[in-house]
């Protein structure tokens, strides 16, 4: 079942572009949906229904002056957004989106890189991505950026623990760290949302915190702060940070689908498995909608609430969930 | 008051329902909300029915203007060149609309109701120089771009200097 290297390269190119396209239109979807939920229209000037708005935004960001503070430390200041955006995009490489197809003489896998420890890889990449946020704030040499990156750092580190622990239940049930294997295990059994409902909930909540979106968007609480760690960034460097955040959100939704929602499988029917990417995309849209819905509904948490919620509620729940799952699995065997 | 989690879930219901409601936003360039009849927009200068200008160049409006945006240079009327019924007329009458605060003191100060504030508010220009309105521009009949609400709808009386100018 091996595939020639150039197929992987093509696939990687296609996936990156699709993820970037999804990112661009997620921003539009978010603005539109938020607007509708607040009885506004949202962007509707650029093109029909505002469909060209992301392109207009891109052109504006690219043409804008990339302001550079004199005090900033050059190399990390420039590299930070690149690192964040790169890790966010790279994480998508291991998320399976289809069963694989036989096209002509070649077999094409439904994943860019089939790594046996892909789950760990995703968490590792996510942790490196946090460096982008921290270093970017620090290298700006501005006290507001530094404070912002401290906030981001504290939040991401605390919630990463619960995120990793909530996934443990799925790993124990599936007996594998490979995302491809986990999806295959869900083909003929219940999706892991049902046995791992608690884990799913914890994963979603800490995932929202991990991607720093409302109601956990304290790193860039726009009504209270200037912008957090990217205060001193502008133009496309800022755009890269923004991209990293949205792509993280997409990757996290993809991970949630893979781990809990049966990946690219359609419920109860396996004749349509060749349409895997479509089902994957439908589920992705549903989760993105949930993210936006959450943002439109819940007010932002206070910082102490965020910390106590993460450490005192989410972490114990995730731990107990992992322990109970482990016990049940051992018992069943 | 229901318990906290129930309230939170109710909130989700509210935001979801909102999606299907009609947005309240007024689509501005296509839809212009009619302005209040006494809305103070761009100024107008007026003529008498016989074509003579009402302004006699007394500069009282310029004196009353708190933003100092009106410039009047008067000249004597002569039998050959009679512009206004009075002794003098405004040879130059300029309003710098980038300074004007639309307070309406000029129309209060004017003894001949020669200047009033109209209803136009779309006054953006690409050049600052274009914000200076000359006498010809102020005298010209403005392009009807702004809908005005029916005065009958409001019980505030239209002052004399607006109603009869």
**Subunit contact A39:B18, Cβ cutoff 8 A:** yes
Q: How many CB pairs under 8 A join A and B?
A: 33
Q: How far is B20 from chain A, CA to nearest CA, in Å?
A: 8
Instruction: Give the best residue of B8, B12, B15 to mutate against chain A (max A CB count within 10 A).
Output: B15
Instruction: Give the best residue of A297, A298, A299, A309 to mutate against chain B (max B CB count within 10 A).
Output: A297
Element (H, E) at A212: none
Query: CA angle at residue A86 from A85 to A92, to 5 degrees?
Result: 100
Per-residue pLDDT tens for A178-193? 998 888 888 878 888 8
Q: Domain range for residue A178?
A: 5-332
Instruction: Check which CATH number belongs to the domain holding B130 and give it.
Output: 3.30.70.3270
- DSSP state for residue A314 in the 8-state scheme: I
Write the CA distances from A209 to A3, A76, A286, B121, integer angstroms: 38, 25, 19, 46
Q: In chain B, pLDDT over 90 holds for what percent of residues?
A: 55
Radius of gyration of chain B (CA): 23
The answer to the question of residue B5 being in a domain is no
Measured between alpha carbons, how far is A115 from A96 in angstroms, rounded to an integer? Answer: 11
CA B29 to chain CA mean position, Å? 18
The answer to the question of residue B15 being in a domain is no
Question: Which among B16, B23, B27 is the nearest to A39, CB-wise?
Answer: B23
Question: What is the pLDDT at residue A303?
Answer: 86
Measured between alpha carbons, how far is A110 from A89 in angstroms, rounded to an integer? Answer: 17
Give chain A as a 3 state SS string: CCCCHHHHHHHHHHHHHHHHHHHHHHHHHHHHHHHHHCCCCCCCCCCHHHCCHHHHHHHHHHHCCCCCCCCCCHHHHHHHHHHHHHHHHHHHHHCCCCCCEEECCEEECCCCCCCCCHHHHHHHHHHHHHHHHHHHHHHCCCHHHHHHHHHHHHHHHHHHHHHHHHHHHHHHHHCCCCHHHHHHHCCCCCCCCCCCHHHHHHHHHHHHHHCCCCCCCHHHCCCCCCCHHHCCCCHHHHHHHHHHHHHHHHHHHHHHHHHHCCCCCECCECCCHHHHHHHHHHHHHHHHHHHHHHHHHCCCCCHHHHHHHHHHHHHHHHHHHHHHHHHHHHHHC
Measured between alpha carbons, how far is A238 from A283 in angstroms, rounded to an integer? Answer: 29
Asked if A209 and A117 touch (Cβ cutoff 8 Å), the reply is no
Per-residue pLDDT tens for A53-69? 999 999 999 999 888 88
Per-residue pLDDT band for B70 (boundaries 50, 70, 90) equals: very high
Question: What is the pLDDT at residue A217?
Answer: 86
For B15, the closest chain A residue by CA position comes to A37
Q: How far is B32 from chain A, CA to nearest CA, in Å?
A: 16
State the CB neighbour count (10 A cutoff) for residue B159: 15
Top pLDDT among B25 and A273 is at B25
The answer to the question of residue B146 being in a domain is yes
Question: Which among B18, B24, B27 is the nearest to A37, CB-wise?
Answer: B18
The answer to the question of residue B12 being in a domain is no
Write the CA distances from B4 to A291, A308, B1, integer angstroms: 21, 18, 8
Measured between alpha carbons, how far is B11 from B33 in angstroms, rounded to an integer? Answer: 32
The answer to the question of residue B8 being in a domain is no
Q: How many domains does chain A have?
A: 1
The answer to the question of residue B139 being in a domain is yes
Question: What is the pLDDT at residue B164?
Answer: 61
Question: What is the pLDDT at residue B2?
Answer: 61
Q: How many domains does chain B have?
A: 1
| Chain A, window 13-72: residues with a beta carbon less than 8 angstroms from a chain B beta carbon | 33, 35-41
**Subunit contact B12:A39, Cβ cutoff 8 A:** no
- The first and second tokens of residue B114, run together, are 């020669």
- DSSP state for residue B35 in the 8-state scheme: B
State which residues of chain A have pLDDT below 50.
none
State whether residue B126 sits within 8 Å of chain A by CB: no
End-to-end CA distance of chain B: 59
Cα-flanking dihedrals φ and ψ of residue A73, to 5°? Answer: -85, 115
B12: chain A residues, CB-CB within 8 Å: 293, 297
Q: What is Dmax (Cα atoms) for chain A?
A: 63
pLDDT beyond 70 at B35: yes
Q: How far is B4 from chain A, CA to nearest CA, in Å?
A: 12
Per-residue pLDDT band for B62 (boundaries 50, 70, 90) equals: very high
**Subunit contact A293:B16, Cβ cutoff 8 A:** yes
State whether residue B12 sits within 8 Å of chain A by CB: yes
Q: Domain range for residue B148?
A: 32-163
Asked if B55 and B37 touch (Cβ cutoff 8 Å), the reply is no
End-to-end CA distance of chain A: 31
| Chain B, window 13-52: residues with a beta carbon less than 8 angstroms from a chain A beta carbon | 14-16, 18-19, 21-25, 27
Per-residue pLDDT tens for B102-149? 999 999 999 988 999 988 888 999 999 999 999 999 998 888 778 888
């Amino acid at each position: 079942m091996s595939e020639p290297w150039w197929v992987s390269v093509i696939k990687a190119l296609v996936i990156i572009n699709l993820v970037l396209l999804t990112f661009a239109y997620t921003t539009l979807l978010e603005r539109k949906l938020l607007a509708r939920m607040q009885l506004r229209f949202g962007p509707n000037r650029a093109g029909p229904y505002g469909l060209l708005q992301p392109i207009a935004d891109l052109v504006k960001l690219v043409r804008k002056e990339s302001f550079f503070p004199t005090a900033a430390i050059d190399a990390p200041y420039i590299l930070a957004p690149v690192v964040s955006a790169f890790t966010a995009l790279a994480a998508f490489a291991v998320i399976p989106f289809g069963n694989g197809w036989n096209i002509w003489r070649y077999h094409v896998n439904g994943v860019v890189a089939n790594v046996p420890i892909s789950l760990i890889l995703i968490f590792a990449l996510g942790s490196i991505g946090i460096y982008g946020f921290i270093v970017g704030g620090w290298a700006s040499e501005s006290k507001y950026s530094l404070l912002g990156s401290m906030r981001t750092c504290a939040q991401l580190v605390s919630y990463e623990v619960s995120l990793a622990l909530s996934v443990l239940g799925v790993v124990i049930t599936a007996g594998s760290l490979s995302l491809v294997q986990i999806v295959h295990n869900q083909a003929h059994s219940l999706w892991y949302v049902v046995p791992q409902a608690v884990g799913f909930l914890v994963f979603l909540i800490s995932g929202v915190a991990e991607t720093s979106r409302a109601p956990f968007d304290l790193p860039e609480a726009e009504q209270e702060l200037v912008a957090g760690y990217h205060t001193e960034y502008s133009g496309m460097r800022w755009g890269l940070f923004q991209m990293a955040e949205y792509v993280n959100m997409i990757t996290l939704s993809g991970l949630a689908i893979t781990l809990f929602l049966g990946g690219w499988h359609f419920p109860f029917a396996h004749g349509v498995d060749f349409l895997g990417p479509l089902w994957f995309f439908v589920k992705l849209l549903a989760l993105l909608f949930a993210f936006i819905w959450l943002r439109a509904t819940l007010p932002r948490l206070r910082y102490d609430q965020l910390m106590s919620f993460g450490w005192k509620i989410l972490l114990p729940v995730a731990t107990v969930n992992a322990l109970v799952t482990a016990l049940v699995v051992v018992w069943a065997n | 008051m229901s318990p906290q989690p129930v309230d939170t879930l109710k909130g989700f219901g509210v935001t979801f329902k909102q999606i299907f409601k009609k947005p309240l936003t007024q689509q501005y360039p296509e839809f212009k909300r009619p302005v209040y009849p006494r809305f103070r927009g761009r100024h107008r200068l007026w003529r008498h029915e016989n074509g003579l200008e009402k302004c006699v160049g007394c500069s009282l409006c310029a004196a009353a203007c708190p933003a100092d945006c009106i410039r009047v240079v008067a000249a004597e009327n002569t039998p050959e060149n009679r512009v206004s019924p009075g002794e003098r007329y405004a040879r130059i009458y300029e309003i710098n609309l980038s300074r004007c605060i639309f307070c309406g003191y000029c129309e209060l100060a004017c003894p001949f109701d020669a200047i009033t504030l109209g209803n136009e508010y779309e006054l953006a220009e690409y050049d600052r120089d274009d914000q200076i309105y000359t006498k010809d521009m102020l005298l010209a009949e403005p392009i009807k771009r702004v809908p005005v609400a029916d005065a009958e709808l409001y019980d505030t009386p239209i002052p004399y200097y607006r109603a009869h100018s």
